[in-house]
Amino acid sequence: MKEKIDQLFQNEAQLPKMSSVVSKVMEMASKPDVVIADLAKEISKDPGLTAAVIKLSNSAYFRPSKPVKTVQESLMTLGIKTVREIILLNETKGILKKELKGYQVDGEANWLHSLIVAELAMRIAVQKKLKIDKDVVFTAGLLHNIGKVILSEFFPTVLMQFRTELQNYEGLYTELEAKFFGYTHQEAGAKLLTKWNFPEELIEVAKFYTEPEKAVHFPELVSVVHIANCIVLVGGMGIDIGGLRIPLSPKALQITGVTEGDLQMYYTLLPEMAKHIEELISV
Amino acid sequence: MLNKDVKIINVGIADIQSGQSPSVIRTTLGSCIGVVFYAPEKKVGAMAHIMLSKDSSGKDSAKNPFKYADTALPQLVKKMEELGCAKGEYYARLFGGASMFKGMNSSFLQNIGDLNVSVAKEFLDKEKITLLVEEVGGHEGRTISLYLDDGRILLKKGGFEKYLYKVR
């Protein structure tokens, strides 16, 4: 199995890809001295992307101060970071909305899971006044379990064995993934994001979101996504065959200052959050 | 296999939905519970997706009654009345209420599931609504689909799926 996955990573044709315009925009947007007009021009090279940016910019979720009619207006009204987030959201939708066959999660549920983890992680970061960029938190939340899409492709062949073993298995679900695939979905996700030349913090989140105590460079960011993921799973959104086997890390709670009362509040807010992201889900 | 004309009604988190044959009502549960009422003679049913046993703040349940068992379940009974079913014509089944992995660091998250299940059972007992089937607890999520044509339930859990046919 491991060899097959290694082959997949070597043969890029089979891997989910980023469009060249999106890669270019990501690279440009990350530079502090980027010129808005240049960025707008690059985005406008892709008509589909342009339409998506304008549509999403006007959604209730992003609440622009005035209606947005062009990419340039969108960049000026919402800011470069938010437009970057919109572009990534639009680009990854096709990947994250895929059915996770082996995991028994349908496409819509996985998409809802990704978006709601992103939204909740952002809310936790804001509410706990953490010094991390909220747009980065959103993106990190959105992409945290993208590796499942890769492993999911390989599940059908080993599924029966995997299920049988899972029945009597009390340990960590990811250990079982490693046994069957040679990789955990966290490792696969980190590899994919590395292929895409994504920033280090997003790679670390994908790699350690189930074990935040192992995060070296961005422990706050990883912890926030970890906590959001646990709460969303308790709410049943995007819950897979591994069920609720990811223990909530005491270290993550300590790093972020999230209390028992906070956890209760976040959980109780899930339906309102799901409503808030409704427009993003339907895109 | 699902016929293309069959309507699938999704029940969101903190939501109640109802329908009639041949529709299918579906939801996915973690620590939440799914309470299913089905009237086999009339082939109608309703499902509640409940998050918590009761509202500790005392303020939220007025705005979001379907979130909490003590306010949602009377609404579910009302829904069956609207579908023309008196008590005794329908029976209950109960799913979900899983809990986090052992050794959880939050007694709140750990206990939601058990509390949900016990409050729902108390309600059914008090209202004398027969509980036919329950599949609750554990660490796994469950997706349940209620087929209103005969009331069977398809339960997906931990990589397995099975039909539950007991409806009365």
Confidence class for position A10, pLDDT limits 50, 70, 90 = confident
- Whether residue B31 and residue A249 make contact (CB cut-off 8 A), yes or no, is no
| ipTM over the 0.90 cut-off | yes
- Residue B1, pLDDT above cutoff 80: no
pLDDT one-digit tens code per residue, B8-19: 999 999 999 999
Q: Which residues of B touch A (CB under 8 A)?
A: 12-15, 27-32, 51-52, 56, 60, 64, 67, 96, 98-109, 112, 138-141, 143, 156, 158-160
Neighbours of A22 (CB within 10 A): 21
Confidence class for position A180, pLDDT limits 50, 70, 90 = confident
Asked, for residue A189, whether it belongs to a domain, the answer is yes
pLDDT one-digit tens code per residue, A28-45: 998 989 999 999 999 999
List the domain range (segments joined by +) for residue A108: 97-282
- Whether residue A244 and residue B28 make contact (CB cut-off 8 A), yes or no, is no
Closest CA to B47 of B20, B7, B22, B70: B20
pLDDT one-digit tens code per residue, A187-226: 999 999 999 989 999 999 999 999 999 999 999 999 999 9
Q: Is A246 on the interface with B (CB under 8 A)?
A: yes
Scanning the structure block, which residue is given the tokens 């808030």?
A: A276
Q: Which residues of A touch B138 (CB under 8 A)?
A: 243
- Residue A23, pLDDT above cutoff 60: yes
- Report how many domains make up chain A: 2
Confidence class for position B83, pLDDT limits 50, 70, 90 = very high
**B29, B59, B147 from B8: Cα distances, Å:** 17, 33, 9
The stretches of chain A forming alpha helices (DSSP H) are: 2-10, 20-29, 36-44, 47-57, 71-78, 80-96, 107-127, 134-143, 147-167, 173-181, 185-195, 200-208, 219-234, 250-256, 260-276, 278-282
| Site from A101, A103, A104 to mutate, B interface, most B CB atoms within 10 angstroms | A104
Q: Is A88 on the interface with B (CB under 8 A)?
A: no
Do A140 and A41 belong together in one domain?
no
Q: What percent of chain B has pLDDT over 70?
A: 95
Do A83 and A109 belong together in one domain?
no
- Residue B3, pLDDT above cutoff 90: no
CATH of the structural domain B8-164, one choice from 1.10.150.530, 2.50.20.10, 2.40.30.30, 3.30.1330.200: 3.30.1330.200
Cα dihedral sign for A213, A216, A221, A222? Answer: negative
